[in-house]
């Protein structure tokens, strides 16, 4: 399925209940009442569609990119919240005349408590979920605890919301729409069950083992995993995995890390991991032989999907080198002779990962490695400062490089600045791939 179909598919799902309601041909009510119903129907469908935007479905992330999917998840949840709030507000709007006695019950609202309370519960819970997601870093919860609460809360919102629609909804009283709600709810819960129960069960037969952990640079480690089963990981250079080291297969303690090895180099997979928090801060203490689980591959940061690009530009900031070195290694292992430039920004020299290997790769004809340091030592002869518009213009302004593939990974402010600078150089956006290491 092409990526361009994802948006029509989403719109179909989000608008299906509204379309079915419209097709019922019920007598029209006041415009505000109809808008209120419409807001409720679309919001509920959007909430159920959120379960497919968890960033765990390869058929989606492979096409759109995980960070785009997660961003869509966040923004659409906020949009759904706005519609959910509008839903009751529009019903009680002062512009709506007081309800008339209507024996058919088709023109009047059912304000019965059995129908109302699940709706109120869904609204409050959804507001709480969105607030907790926006303020995740200040609410002080461990990431894994937050994720568990987020998942449980989402199930409750979906359940209460559908119950409210079935009990109180004017249009949802129709059996066809009623069944559609139940089908969508079942699919949403099945999506969650797939991620947290069925996929881990499948992984059980594919355990991995920590083969080695080595320091790679300041507060950065290289972790190598071996398959402890017959086979390996079928991935493309630049993709990432959800990694669980030393926990049970169903554990929520897993973190996304880009694979830094090249698929063409064998079954071992390698990660470059920077110390940041709870798990990554203790990575150096993991013992070789520890059991690990991989949920992979995810992501679209791969050069191999773009065989028609005449050259490859890799632009990395800090640990963003992880997927990009995987691409460099794969290009070398597969004798990909396309010209390639790596711009690699760090603060200090000690933060440069795999320097000797990069120097060796950079010595190949057609490959250029440019280290950029913002705090260089006195004897530094390379580029200094940040990877900025001037540096990009010097390397990529030539029109022969406009159709290259540009792969970006690094801190969000750097990626925004680089993306803007590339677009200003008339690089087409379809030739720019980027992935953020944070979902905020
Ligand atoms: C697609 C992707 C690829 C990544 N690749 C790399 C890589 O190759 N090397 C590397 O060093 N880092 C990478 N990261 C970042 C890495 O996932 C986080 O630094 C790591 O999960 C932090 O875990 P922690 O338990 O040490 O930190 P915590 O103390 O738990 O959290 C610190 C912050 O890290 C983020 N974080 C924590 N857990 C997760 C999680 N399960 N999912 C998403 N974000 C989380 C949150 O923003 C959190 O606020 C990648 C992130 C993403 C999304």
The answer to whether 368 and 360 are in contact (CB under 8 A) is no
CATH for the stretch 3-97+109-202: 1.20.120
pLDDT band at 102 (very low <50, low <70, confident <90, very high): low
> Which whole number is the average pLDDT over 421-437?
93
Instruction: Report residue 231's pLDDT band, with 50, 70 and 90 as the boundaries.
Output: very high
Interatomic CA distance for residues 231 and 163, integer angstroms: 46
pLDDT at position 234, please?
A: 96
CATH architecture, domain defined by 312-435: 3-Layer(aba) Sandwich (3.40)
Q: Which of 141, 222, 253, 276 to mutate to test the pocket of ligand 1 (most atoms within 8 A of CB)?
A: 276
Q: Which of 361, 356, 422 is nearest to 387 (CA)?
A: 422
Q: Is the pTM of this model over 0.85?
A: yes
Whether the predicted pLDDT of 30 surpasses 90:
no
* Per-residue pLDDT band at 44 (split at 50, 70, 90): very high
Return the percent helix, strand and coil in the chain, to nearest 5: 50, 15, 35
C-alpha of residue 179 to centroid of ligand 1, in Å: 40
Per-residue pLDDT, averaged over 73-91, amounts to 95
Instruction: Decide if pLDDT at 58 tops 90.
Output: no
Whole-number Å distance, alpha carbon 278 to ligand 1 midpoint, is 10
Question: What's the whole-number mean pLDDT along residues 61-77?
Answer: 88
Lowest mean pLDDT segment, chosen from 86-90, 91-95, 325-329, 330-334: 91-95
Confidence tier at 2 by pLDDT (50, 70, 90): low
Residue nearest to atom 10 of ligand 1 (CA): 273
Evaluate whether 209 touches 225 at the Cβ level (below 8 Å): yes
Task: Report the nearest-CA residue for atom 35 of ligand 1.
Answer: 438
Check pocket membership of 437 for ligand 1, CB cut-off 6 A. Answer: yes
In ligand 1, which atom is closest to the CA atom of 274?
Answer: 11
The HSE-up count of residue 7 (CA atoms within 13 Å, CB side) is 4
- Lowest mean pLDDT: which of 55-59, 203-207, 415-419? 55-59
Q: Strands, E, within 246-324: which ranges?
A: 255-258, 269-274, 291-298, 312-317
What average pLDDT does range 32-38 have in this prediction?
94
What's the confidence (pLDDT) of residue 101? 56
358 Cα–ligand 1 center, Å: 25
For residues 395 and 370, the answer to whether their CB atoms sit within 8 Å is: yes
Nearest to 438 by CA among 319, 292, 344: 319
Supply the pLDDT for residue 432: 96
Please say if the pLDDT value at position 404 is more than 90. yes
CATH annotation of 208-298: 2.40.30.10
Three-class secondary structure of residue 234 per DSSP: coil
Task: Count other Cβ atoms within 10 Å, centred on residue 333.
Answer: 15
Q: Which two tokens stand for residue 173?
A: 């009283």
| 438 pocket-lining for ligand 1 (C-beta < 6 Å) | yes
Closest CA to 323 of 273, 381, 369: 273
Instruction: State how far the Cα of 269 lies from the Cα of 158, in Å rounded to an integer.
Output: 38
Report how far residue 93's alpha carbon sits from residue 401's, in angstroms, rounded to the nearest whole number. Answer: 57
Domain ranges of the chain: 3-97+109-202, 208-298, 312-435
Q: Is the pLDDT of residue 198 over 80?
A: yes
Residue 110: per-residue pLDDT: 60
CA atoms within 13 A on the CB side of 244: 18
- What separation in Å is there between the alpha carbon of 331 and the centre of ligand 1? 27
Q: Average pLDDT, stretch 80-106?
A: 77
Atom of ligand 1 nearest to the CA of 435: 1
In degrees, rounded to 5, the angle at the alpha carbon of residue 15 between the alpha carbons of residues 27 and 134 is: 120
What integer pLDDT is reported at residue 149 of this predicted model?
A: 94
Q: Is the CB of 143 within 6 Å of ligand 1? A: yes
Cα 256 to averaged position of ligand 1 atoms, centre (Å): 6
Q: What is the pLDDT of residue 176?
A: 97
Q: In the 8-state DSSP scheme, what is residue 194?
A: I
Comparing CA positions, the residue from 70, 69, 62, 67 lying closest to residue 300 is 62
Q: Is the backbone of residue 437 left (phi > 0), alpha (psi -120 to 50) or beta?
A: alpha
- Model confidence at 26, in pLDDT bands (50, 70, 90)? very high
The H-assigned helical ranges of 173-285 are 175-193, 199-203
Distances (CA, A) of 194 to 197, 353, 399: 6, 36, 47
pLDDT above 70 covers a percentage of the chain that reads: 95
109: confidence class by pLDDT, cuts 50, 70, 90: low
From 256, 261, 273, the mutation candidate for ligand 1 (largest count of ligand atoms within 8 A of CB) is 256
Mean pLDDT value of segment 252-263: 95
Answer for the pair 48, 188: CB distance below 8 angstroms, yes or no: yes
What mean pLDDT do residues 415-431 have? Answer: 95
Q: What is the DSSP string of 96-141?
A: SPPPPP-TTSSSS----HHHHHHHHHHHHHHHHHHHHHHTTTTS--
pLDDT tens for each residue of 114-168: 999 999 999 999 999 999 999 887 878 888 889 899 999 999 999 999 999 999 9
Give the torsion through C-alpha atoms of 202, 54, 437, 340, to 10 deg: 70
Contact 290, 243 (CB under 8 A): no
Cis before 319? omega within 30:
no
Beta carbons of 326 and 257 less than 8 angstroms apart: no
Which carries the bigger pLDDT value, residue 412 or residue 440?
412
For helices 6-23 and 175-193, give the axis angle rounded to 10 degrees: 150
pLDDT given at position 103: 54
Q: Is 274 in the pocket of ligand 1 (CB under 6 A)?
A: yes
pLDDT in tens, 170-186: 999 999 999 999 999 99
Ligand 1 binding pocket includes 245 (Cβ within 6 Å): no
Task: Check whether 240 has a pLDDT greater than 90.
Answer: yes
Mean pLDDT of 192-197: 93
Which residue in 61, 79, 77, 69 sits closest to 1, CA to CA?
A: 61
Token pair for residue 160?
């209460």
- 138 CB less than 6 Å from ligand 1? no
């Amino acid at each position: 399925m092409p990526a361009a179909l994802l948006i029509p598919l989403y719109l179909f799902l989000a608008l299906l209940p509204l379309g079915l309601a419209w097709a019922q041909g019920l007598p029209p009510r006041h415009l505000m009442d109809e808008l209120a119903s419409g807001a409720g129907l679309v919001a509920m469908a959007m909430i159920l569609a959120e379960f497919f935007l968890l960033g765990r479905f390869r058929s989606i992330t492979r096409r759109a990119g995980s960070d785009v999917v997660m961003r869509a998840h966040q923004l659409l949840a906020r949009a759904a919240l706005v519609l959910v709030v509008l839903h009751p507000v529009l019903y009680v709007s002062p512009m709506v005349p007081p309800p008339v006695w209507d024996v058919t019950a088709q023109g009047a609202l059912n304000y019965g408590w059995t129908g109302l309370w699940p709706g109120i519960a869904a609204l409050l819970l959804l507001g709480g979920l969105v607030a907790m997601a926006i303020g995740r870093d200040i609410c002080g919860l461990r990431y894994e605890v937050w994720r568990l609460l987020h998942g449980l809360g989402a199930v409750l919102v979906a359940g209460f919301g559908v119950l409210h629609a079935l009990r109180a909804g004017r249009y949802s009283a129709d059996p066809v729409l009623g069944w559609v709600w139940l089908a969508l709810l079942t699919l949403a819960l099945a999506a969650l069950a797939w991620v947290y129960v069925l996929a881990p069960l499948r992984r059980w037969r594919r355990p991995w083992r920590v083969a080695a952990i080595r320091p790679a640079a300041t507060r950065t480690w290289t972790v190598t995993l071996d398959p402890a089963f017959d086979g390996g990981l079928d991935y493309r250079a630049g993709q990432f995995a959800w990694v669980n080291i030393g926990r049970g297969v169903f554990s929520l303690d897993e973190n996304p890390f880009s694979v830094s090895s090249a698929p063409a180099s064998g079954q071992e997979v390698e990660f470059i991991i920077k110390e940041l928090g709870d798990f990554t801060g203790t990575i150096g203490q993991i013992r070789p032989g520890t059991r690990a689980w991989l949920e992979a591959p995810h992501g679209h940061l791969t050069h191999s999907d773009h065989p028609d690009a005449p050259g490859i530009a890799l632009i990395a900031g800090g640990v963003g080198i992880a997927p990009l070195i995987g691409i460099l290694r794969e290009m070398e292992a597969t004798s990909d002779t396309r010209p390639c430039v790596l711009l690699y920004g760090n603060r200090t020299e000690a933060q440069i990962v795999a320097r000797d290997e990069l120097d060796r790769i950079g010595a190949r004809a057609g490959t250029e490695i440019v280290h950029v340091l913002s705090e260089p030592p006195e004897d530094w002869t390379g580029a200094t400062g940040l990877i900025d518009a001037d540096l990009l213009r010097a390397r990529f302004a030539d029109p022969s490089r406009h159709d290259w593939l540009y792969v970006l990974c690094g801190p969000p402010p750097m990626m925004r600045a680089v993306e803007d600078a590339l677009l200003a150089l008339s690089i087409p956006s379809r030739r720019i791939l980027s992935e953020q290491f944070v979902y905020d």
